[in-house]
Chains A and B, each alone.
Chain A
Amino acid sequence: MELAIDRVTKRYANKIACDRISLTLHAGVYGLLGANGAGKTTLMRMMCGVLAPTSGTIAFDGIDVNHEDYRDVLGYLPQDFGYYPEFTAQNFMLYIAMLKGLPKVRAMEKSRELLELVSLEKEAKKKIKTFSGGMKQRLGIAQSLLNDPKILILDEPTAGLDPKERVRFRNLISRLGAKRIVLLSTHIVSDVEHIADTILLMKNGQLIHQGTLEQIIDTITGKVWECSVSQEAAEIMCEKHPVINIRQEGEKIFLRLICENPPQDDATGVTATLEDLYLYYFSGVNEQ
């Protein structure tokens, strides 16, 4: 099982959304991290065959992304997508199951099973227009699993889910990743931290890091510091170093920041986290 992305580029008139991205994915969970506009959604859309790359190829076990057989093994949860408000959840699932080529009986069984999995079995006969955002998101997750996909691409899957649902979803993804390629993008760093076997970091259309959590964090290991400083010193440090966290503590300012050497003598070196790395790379981007 191999999903090969070879020098994939997506160029618009005045912007390169994805720049020569090459990746080989095998069974497992991949977490795609990046700020808004980093190119995550563009890459995912190209991997789903709904956006043609300017150059490069995408193939699963030699099957081109544009082939029906590729779509047959694909499950996709887009970031922003619509429903048919007048459809019931059950009808919606049956419709998607038909689109995915499931026979009618199997479609009924699978729909019931997945609605149960996402705790929507009691709402199966209710119209989608009555659903909350979280319920719609769960329905979206359920539809992506209808064809038991070998490639599961989830764009911001935990958006709109409450903490309990998120934990349930993370566990589900972990299970699914054992037998298939799961690629998920999210802004919620802890989701990736908990479930991704491999983390992919995108910035400005390029893949800047990829590896396990330990490998990724290694970039900033020994460079994360915490200290309490005066207001004036804090302002100077904020200008010189990427600041991960800042808060008022009495008369002092608490800082968590990244720099090569201790920012001051009493600074404490702390264990780096994925969130540190994310903010290290993307806080600047978000400010822009």
Chain B
Amino acid sequence: MNSFWSLTGFEYKKILCRKSTWIVFFLAIIATVISVSGTLLGNSYIDGEIYESNYEGMTKDRSYARSLSGQAIDHKLIVKAVDAYSKIPGSDSYHDTTEYQTFARPYSAIYAIVRTVYNTESKRFNMEDFQKLSEEQVEQFYALRRNKQVQLVEATSMSDKAKEKVLVLDAKIMTPLIFSYTDGYTRFFVTVYTLGLVAAFAMAVCIAPIFSGEYAAGTDQLILTSRHGKNKLIAAKLFTGFSLAALICAVLTAVDYILSLSLFGSDGADAPLQLYSPLSPYPLTMGKTALILAVCTLFACLMTAAITMLLSAKFKSPFGVIILVGLLLIMPMFVSISERNIVLYNLFQLLPTNMMPYWTVTNGILYELLGLVIKPYVFMPIFAIVISMLLAPLAYRSFKKHQIG
């Protein structure tokens, strides 16, 4: 066992000795920081004049939202928001009006939640619709939400069992929703996808040479003729690949999470997810959702590591591995699969790139396997583990059987 850890140490040394590792890691940190703080840069303008900086705008919205925190999103609060918005004169760019800034903006977070429920397929609910919202419509807010949920679920091609499960989950959501400021968490939800892709690519660059680098450098001959070269060393290499992938992902996730919460505010860990996605059927809190996203991203990175190591064991050059893994990560962003073909759709969501975004992890389309109905955020990590466990022995075997000549 000692030699295993010593060999793992040397594998880390090989990776950490390369300049490319540090460059990629540094760029990944920069990308994560920019993706979190990017929206705070710049200014907002009214009539061509700087009205406020984006950072000032965020702090203003935050203080407005914090003043509403703890209040139930019920008839009373929605009516208050409607009244405030009714003061805005008809205008295409209503954000620029003094009335919006003075009266409506403090309720903009409520409007953002409410409009999603009132949107219909044929018409997008806008500010004018909100101004005209009747007492009766406000009263029906949660009933309307539930009806909409039923319609959405029925429109899918899931089995009846799965549909029923989604609706049961949805019924567990406590209403009325209690409002809380949650922008720190929602910023994390948005940026975790970017960070996941950055982490997966950075990890691929670092571990692509783990096997193919030995072929390219000609050190494979020394390794494969040594006592542990065809067993313990391969295990140490695989462990190094997986642990480094986990480490890179964990560090970037931590940077993203800490930065999101410190810049935007750490409130709302216990707030319901529906404050961000009013139609989400999952009775989750913001904190739990953040954890789920971090876990799914981590396992997506581990699956990418398994794929990278298999390709590394097969290819003679790390460059080919990096290019292929890069394509694997980028291509799914340009492909869209219809939900009507549920099998293909669900399979497509199991690509590493699709395991990271908030909207696929918390998608209302469930997985069905052997009579079991499984939530995407449960199925995705399990799938990643299974695939990694299948690919790792293939990489092991491929390096062990590598022929020199």
| Co-assembled chains A and B | yes
Interface residues of A (CB under 8 A from B): 41-42, 45, 48-52, 68, 71-72, 74, 76, 78, 80-84, 86-87, 91, 94-96, 98-101, 103-104, 143, 147
Stretch of B70-78, B216-224, B310-318, B319-327 contacting A (4+ beta carbons < 8 Å): B216-224
* Interchain Cβ contacts under 8 Å between A and B, 28 examples: A49-B225, A50-B403, A51-B403, A68-B227, A71-B227, A74-B225, A78-B218, A81-B219, A81-B221, A82-B218, A84-B14, A86-B14, A86-B17, A91-B10, A91-B13, A94-B10, A96-B226, A98-B3, A98-B6, A98-B7, A98-B10, A99-B7, A99-B229, A101-B3, A101-B226, A101-B228, A143-B222, A147-B226
Of the residues A45, A51, A99, contact of B223 by C-beta under 8 Å: A99
Which size bracket describes the interface of B in this complex? 20 to 34
Of the residues B17, B233, B402, B404, contact of A84 by C-beta under 8 Å: B17
Are A99 and B222 also in contact (CB < 8 A) when A50-B403, A84-B17, A104-B2 are?
yes
Contact A45 B404 (CB under 8 A): yes
Contact A84 B217 (CB under 8 A): yes
Contact B6 A96 (CB under 8 A): no
CB distance from B373 to the nearest CB of A (A): 47
B194 neighbours in A (Cβ, 8 Å): none
Contact B221 A95 (CB under 8 A): no
Of the residues A41, A78, A104, contact of B222 by C-beta under 8 Å: A78
B230 neighbours in A (Cβ, 8 Å): 68, 71
Please name the residue on chain B nearest to A143 by beta carbon.
Answer: B222
CB distance from A153 to the nearest CB of B (A): 8
Q: Is B69's beta carbon under 8 Å from chain A?
A: no
B217-251 with Cβ < 8 A to chain A: 217-231, 233
Q: Is B405's beta carbon under 8 Å from chain A?
A: yes
Contact A68 B231 (CB under 8 A): yes
Of the residues B2, B216, B221, contact of A76 by C-beta under 8 Å: B221
Q: Is B18's beta carbon under 8 Å from chain A?
A: yes
Contact A82 B217 (CB under 8 A): yes
Return the 6 tightest CB-CB contacts between A and B, nearest first: A82-B217, A82-B218, A86-B17, A99-B226, A78-B221, A50-B404
Are A96 and B17 also in contact (CB < 8 A) when A68-B227, A71-B227, A101-B227 are?
no
- 13 further interface pairs, Cβ-Cβ under 8 Å (given A50-B224, A81-B219, A91-B10): A48-B225, A50-B221, A50-B405, A68-B230, A68-B231, A71-B230, A78-B222, A94-B10, A98-B10, A99-B7, A100-B226, A104-B6, A147-B226
Cα–Cα distance between A89 and B4 once the two chains are bound (Å)? 21
CB distance from A159 to the nearest CB of B (A): 14
